[in-house]
Structure 1
Protein backbone atom coordinates (compact mmCIF):
# COMPACT_ATOMS: atom_id res chain seq x y z
CA UNK A 1 0.00 0.00 0.00
CA UNK A 2 1.42 3.45 -0.85
CA UNK A 3 2.72 5.58 2.00
CA UNK A 4 0.33 8.42 1.16
CA UNK A 5 -2.67 6.13 1.70
CA UNK A 6 -1.20 4.84 4.94
CA UNK A 7 -0.57 8.37 6.18
CA UNK A 8 -4.06 9.58 5.22
CA UNK A 9 -5.56 6.46 6.86
CA UNK A 10 -3.58 7.26 10.01
CA UNK A 11 -4.94 10.81 9.99
CA UNK A 12 -8.52 9.59 9.52
CA UNK A 13 -8.03 7.02 12.30
CA UNK A 14 -6.79 9.65 14.73
CA UNK A 15 -9.70 11.95 13.94
CA UNK A 16 -12.41 9.29 14.16
CA UNK A 17 -11.13 7.68 17.36
CA UNK A 18 -10.71 11.11 18.96
CA UNK A 19 -14.25 12.10 17.97
CA UNK A 20 -15.58 8.90 19.48
CA UNK A 21 -13.66 9.44 22.71
CA UNK A 22 -14.79 13.07 22.88
CA UNK A 23 -18.43 12.25 22.32
CA UNK A 24 -18.42 9.32 24.74
CA UNK A 25 -16.78 11.33 27.56
CA UNK A 26 -18.99 14.42 27.39
CA UNK A 27 -21.47 14.72 30.24
CA UNK A 28 -24.79 16.30 29.29
CA UNK A 29 -26.19 19.23 31.24
CA UNK A 30 -28.95 17.10 32.70
CA UNK A 31 -26.46 14.60 34.14
CA UNK A 32 -24.02 17.07 35.66
CA UNK A 33 -23.69 17.34 39.41
CA UNK A 34 -23.89 20.80 40.89
CA UNK A 35 -20.58 22.33 41.91
CA UNK A 36 -18.53 19.91 39.77
CA UNK A 37 -16.35 20.98 36.86
CA UNK A 38 -16.60 19.00 33.65
CA UNK A 39 -14.22 19.29 30.72
CA UNK A 40 -15.78 20.65 27.53
CA UNK A 41 -15.95 18.56 24.39
CA UNK A 42 -13.20 20.49 22.56
CA UNK A 43 -10.72 19.91 25.42
CA UNK A 44 -11.42 16.17 25.55
CA UNK A 45 -11.17 15.96 21.76
CA UNK A 46 -7.84 17.84 21.58
CA UNK A 47 -6.23 15.77 24.36
CA UNK A 48 -7.47 12.56 22.75
CA UNK A 49 -6.24 13.79 19.37
CA UNK A 50 -2.73 14.38 20.73
CA UNK A 51 -2.53 10.99 22.47
CA UNK A 52 -3.89 9.13 19.44
CA UNK A 53 -1.58 11.00 17.05
CA UNK A 54 1.45 10.08 19.14
CA UNK A 55 0.36 6.45 19.36
CA UNK A 56 -0.35 6.28 15.65
CA UNK A 57 2.76 8.10 14.42
CA UNK A 58 5.30 6.54 16.78
CA UNK A 59 3.95 3.00 17.21
CA UNK A 60 1.36 1.75 14.77
CA UNK A 61 2.40 3.47 11.52
CA UNK A 62 6.12 2.53 11.68
CA UNK A 63 5.37 -1.08 12.56
CA UNK A 64 2.75 -1.31 9.81
CA UNK A 65 5.39 -0.09 7.34
CA UNK A 66 7.42 -3.12 8.42
CA UNK A 67 4.52 -5.60 8.27
CA UNK A 68 3.18 -4.71 4.81
CA UNK A 69 6.31 -5.78 2.85
CA UNK A 70 6.37 -9.02 4.84
CA UNK A 71 2.74 -9.68 3.91
CA UNK A 72 3.43 -8.76 0.29
CA UNK A 73 6.31 -11.23 0.07
CA UNK A 74 4.19 -14.15 1.31
CA UNK A 75 2.62 -16.34 -1.32
CA UNK A 76 -1.09 -16.62 -0.66
CA UNK A 77 -3.56 -18.56 -2.79
CA UNK A 78 -6.70 -16.50 -2.45
CA UNK A 79 -8.36 -13.37 -1.17
CA UNK A 80 -9.71 -15.20 1.89
CA UNK A 81 -6.28 -16.48 2.85
CA UNK A 82 -4.79 -13.03 2.36
CA UNK A 83 -7.51 -11.49 4.54
CA UNK A 84 -6.83 -13.97 7.34
CA UNK A 85 -3.09 -13.29 7.18
CA UNK A 86 -3.66 -9.52 7.24
CA UNK A 87 -6.05 -9.75 10.20
CA UNK A 88 -3.66 -11.98 12.17
CA UNK A 89 -0.70 -9.72 11.33
CA UNK A 90 -2.54 -6.57 12.41
CA UNK A 91 -3.82 -8.32 15.54
CA UNK A 92 -0.22 -9.12 16.47
CA UNK A 93 0.78 -5.56 15.54
CA UNK A 94 -1.93 -4.11 17.77
CA UNK A 95 -1.08 -6.41 20.65
CA UNK A 96 2.63 -5.61 20.41
CA UNK A 97 2.01 -1.87 20.16
CA UNK A 98 -0.41 -2.10 23.09
CA UNK A 99 2.30 -3.81 25.12
CA UNK A 100 4.85 -1.12 24.24
CA UNK A 101 2.30 1.61 25.01
CA UNK A 102 1.49 0.01 28.38
CA UNK A 103 5.16 -0.38 29.29
CA UNK A 104 5.92 3.27 28.54
CA UNK A 105 2.76 4.72 30.09
CA UNK A 106 2.06 2.38 33.02
CA UNK A 107 5.67 1.29 33.65
CA UNK A 108 5.58 -1.36 36.39
CA UNK A 109 1.81 -1.90 36.18
CA UNK A 110 1.85 -2.76 32.48
CA UNK A 111 0.55 -6.29 32.98
CA UNK A 112 -2.17 -5.47 35.52
CA UNK A 113 -4.37 -3.40 33.24
CA UNK A 114 -5.86 -4.55 29.96
CA UNK A 115 -7.25 -1.17 28.88
CA UNK A 116 -4.25 0.02 26.82
CA UNK A 117 -4.01 -3.27 24.95
CA UNK A 118 -7.63 -3.19 23.91
CA UNK A 119 -7.51 0.51 23.04
CA UNK A 120 -4.43 0.23 20.82
CA UNK A 121 -5.82 -2.96 19.26
CA UNK A 122 -9.04 -1.15 18.36
CA UNK A 123 -7.06 1.79 16.95
CA UNK A 124 -5.02 -0.67 14.87
CA UNK A 125 -8.11 -2.27 13.36
CA UNK A 126 -9.70 1.12 12.66
CA UNK A 127 -6.45 2.03 10.89
CA UNK A 128 -6.65 -1.18 8.86
CA UNK A 129 -10.30 -0.41 8.02
CA UNK A 130 -9.41 3.09 6.75
CA UNK A 131 -6.56 1.69 4.67
CA UNK A 132 -8.87 -0.71 2.87
CA UNK A 133 -11.59 1.91 2.41
CA UNK A 134 -9.06 4.30 0.83
CA UNK A 135 -7.61 1.51 -1.33
CA UNK A 136 -11.12 0.59 -2.48
CA UNK A 137 -11.90 4.25 -3.31
CA UNK A 138 -8.66 4.42 -5.31
CA UNK A 139 -9.65 1.35 -7.31
CA UNK A 140 -13.08 2.84 -8.03
CA UNK A 141 -11.50 6.06 -9.26
CA UNK A 142 -9.17 4.14 -11.58
CA UNK A 143 -12.08 2.20 -13.06
CA UNK A 144 -13.98 5.39 -13.82
CA UNK A 145 -10.99 7.03 -15.47
Structure 2
Protein backbone atom coordinates (compact mmCIF):
# COMPACT_ATOMS: atom_id res chain seq x y z
CA UNK A 1 0.00 0.00 0.00
CA UNK A 2 1.19 3.47 -0.84
CA UNK A 3 0.64 6.50 1.35
CA UNK A 4 2.17 9.46 -0.41
CA UNK A 5 1.28 12.78 1.16
CA UNK A 6 3.19 16.04 1.45
CA UNK A 7 4.30 17.14 4.91
CA UNK A 8 1.90 19.56 6.58
CA UNK A 9 3.03 23.14 6.04
CA UNK A 10 5.47 22.16 3.27
CA UNK A 11 6.60 24.87 0.85
CA UNK A 12 5.83 24.55 -2.86
CA UNK A 13 9.38 23.41 -3.67
CA UNK A 14 9.11 20.77 -0.92
CA UNK A 15 5.70 19.67 -2.20
CA UNK A 16 7.01 19.30 -5.73
CA UNK A 17 10.12 17.43 -4.55
CA UNK A 18 7.88 14.98 -2.68
CA UNK A 19 5.53 14.72 -5.68
CA UNK A 20 8.45 13.90 -7.98
CA UNK A 21 9.73 11.30 -5.55
CA UNK A 22 6.30 9.67 -5.28
CA UNK A 23 5.71 9.75 -9.05
CA UNK A 24 9.17 8.32 -9.63
CA UNK A 25 8.56 5.48 -7.19
CA UNK A 26 5.16 4.62 -8.66
CA UNK A 27 6.21 4.71 -12.31
CA UNK A 28 9.80 3.41 -12.19
CA UNK A 29 9.08 -0.22 -12.96
CA UNK A 30 5.63 0.01 -14.54
CA UNK A 31 5.61 -0.16 -18.36
CA UNK A 32 1.90 0.63 -18.80
CA UNK A 33 1.43 4.30 -19.72
CA UNK A 34 -2.24 4.47 -18.71
CA UNK A 35 -1.53 2.98 -15.27
CA UNK A 36 1.27 5.50 -14.76
CA UNK A 37 -0.90 8.44 -15.82
CA UNK A 38 -3.71 7.24 -13.54
CA UNK A 39 -1.45 7.07 -10.50
CA UNK A 40 0.14 10.43 -11.25
CA UNK A 41 -3.28 12.07 -11.78
CA UNK A 42 -4.26 10.78 -8.33
CA UNK A 43 -1.00 12.07 -6.83
CA UNK A 44 -1.59 15.50 -8.35
CA UNK A 45 -5.05 15.59 -6.82
CA UNK A 46 -3.63 14.65 -3.41
CA UNK A 47 -0.57 16.90 -3.44
CA UNK A 48 -1.97 20.10 -4.95
CA UNK A 49 -4.59 21.97 -2.96
CA UNK A 50 -7.21 24.14 -4.61
CA UNK A 51 -7.37 22.12 -7.83
CA UNK A 52 -10.71 20.90 -9.17
CA UNK A 53 -9.20 18.88 -12.06
CA UNK A 54 -5.83 17.18 -12.44
CA UNK A 55 -4.90 14.83 -15.22
CA UNK A 56 -3.76 14.10 -18.72
CA UNK A 57 -4.69 14.48 -22.32
CA UNK A 58 -2.84 12.09 -24.66
CA UNK A 59 -1.77 12.92 -28.19
CA UNK A 60 -3.55 10.45 -30.47
CA UNK A 61 -3.54 10.80 -34.26
CA UNK A 62 -2.81 14.52 -34.12
CA UNK A 63 -5.34 15.56 -31.47
CA UNK A 64 -5.57 15.49 -27.70
CA UNK A 65 -7.69 12.69 -26.25
CA UNK A 66 -8.76 12.54 -22.62
CA UNK A 67 -6.55 10.40 -20.41
CA UNK A 68 -6.65 9.52 -16.72
CA UNK A 69 -7.76 12.35 -14.43
CA UNK A 70 -9.41 13.31 -11.17
CA UNK A 71 -12.32 15.74 -11.24
CA UNK A 72 -15.59 16.20 -13.07
CA UNK A 73 -16.19 14.64 -16.50
CA UNK A 74 -14.20 16.48 -19.17
CA UNK A 75 -14.02 17.20 -22.86
CA UNK A 76 -12.94 14.04 -24.65
CA UNK A 77 -11.15 15.45 -27.72
CA UNK A 78 -9.35 18.76 -28.13
CA UNK A 79 -7.78 19.88 -31.43
CA UNK A 80 -4.20 21.12 -31.31
CA UNK A 81 -4.23 24.89 -31.02
CA UNK A 82 -7.70 25.11 -29.45
CA UNK A 83 -8.09 26.20 -25.84
CA UNK A 84 -5.40 26.11 -23.18
CA UNK A 85 -4.65 22.40 -23.61
CA UNK A 86 -4.56 22.72 -27.39
CA UNK A 87 -2.13 25.65 -27.10
CA UNK A 88 0.15 23.57 -24.84
CA UNK A 89 -0.03 20.73 -27.37
CA UNK A 90 2.10 22.93 -29.63
CA UNK A 91 4.96 22.33 -27.17
CA UNK A 92 4.86 25.31 -24.80
CA UNK A 93 3.64 25.46 -21.20
CA UNK A 94 0.50 27.54 -20.67
CA UNK A 95 0.09 29.28 -17.30
CA UNK A 96 -3.24 31.10 -17.37
CA UNK A 97 -4.27 33.27 -14.43
CA UNK A 98 -7.83 33.81 -15.73
CA UNK A 99 -9.16 31.24 -18.19
CA UNK A 100 -12.09 33.48 -19.10
CA UNK A 101 -9.60 35.96 -20.58
CA UNK A 102 -7.91 33.24 -22.68
CA UNK A 103 -9.06 33.37 -26.33
CA UNK A 104 -10.85 30.16 -27.26
CA UNK A 105 -10.91 28.73 -23.73
CA UNK A 106 -12.87 25.47 -23.55
CA UNK A 107 -14.99 25.37 -20.39
CA UNK A 108 -15.23 21.69 -19.49
CA UNK A 109 -15.90 22.65 -15.85
CA UNK A 110 -17.49 26.09 -15.37
CA UNK A 111 -15.91 26.31 -11.89
CA UNK A 112 -12.40 26.49 -13.35
CA UNK A 113 -10.89 29.96 -13.26
CA UNK A 114 -7.15 29.34 -13.71
CA UNK A 115 -5.16 26.65 -15.47
CA UNK A 116 -1.66 25.27 -15.90
CA UNK A 117 -0.99 22.94 -18.83
CA UNK A 118 2.45 21.45 -19.44
CA UNK A 119 3.40 19.40 -22.51
CA UNK A 120 5.07 16.03 -22.03
CA UNK A 121 7.69 15.71 -24.77
CA UNK A 122 9.55 12.71 -26.16
CA UNK A 123 12.06 13.00 -29.00
CA UNK A 124 10.90 16.55 -29.69
CA UNK A 125 7.21 15.66 -30.01
CA UNK A 126 4.31 16.24 -27.63
CA UNK A 127 3.00 12.88 -26.43
CA UNK A 128 0.60 14.23 -23.78
CA UNK A 129 -0.19 17.27 -21.68
CA UNK A 130 -0.57 17.53 -17.91
CA UNK A 131 -3.58 19.71 -17.15
CA UNK A 132 -4.33 21.36 -13.81
CA UNK A 133 -7.45 23.45 -13.22
CA UNK A 134 -8.40 25.54 -10.21
CA UNK A 135 -11.54 27.38 -9.14
CA UNK A 136 -9.25 30.17 -7.86
CA UNK A 137 -7.97 33.01 -10.02
CA UNK A 138 -4.17 33.02 -10.43
CA UNK A 139 -3.81 29.74 -8.48
CA UNK A 140 -0.66 28.73 -10.37
CA UNK A 141 2.70 30.51 -10.41
CA UNK A 142 6.29 30.02 -11.56
CA UNK A 143 6.96 27.46 -8.80
CA UNK A 144 4.00 25.37 -9.96
CA UNK A 145 5.19 25.68 -13.55
CA UNK A 146 8.71 24.50 -12.63
CA UNK A 147 7.34 21.63 -10.55
CA UNK A 148 5.00 20.33 -13.24
CA UNK A 149 7.62 20.79 -15.96
CA UNK A 150 9.98 18.61 -13.86
CA UNK A 151 7.21 16.05 -13.54
CA UNK A 152 6.62 16.11 -17.30
CA UNK A 153 10.32 15.49 -17.89
CA UNK A 154 10.25 12.52 -15.50
CA UNK A 155 7.21 11.06 -17.23
CA UNK A 156 8.47 11.55 -20.77
CA UNK A 157 9.82 8.00 -20.90
CA UNK A 158 7.18 6.46 -18.63
CA UNK A 159 3.92 7.23 -20.41
TM-score (norm 1): 0.30
TM-score normalised by L of structure 2: 0.29
Which has the larger share of strand? 2
Greater helix share, structure number: 1
Considering Cα pairs closer than 8 Å and 6+ residues apart, tell me whether 1 or 2 has the greater RCO: 1
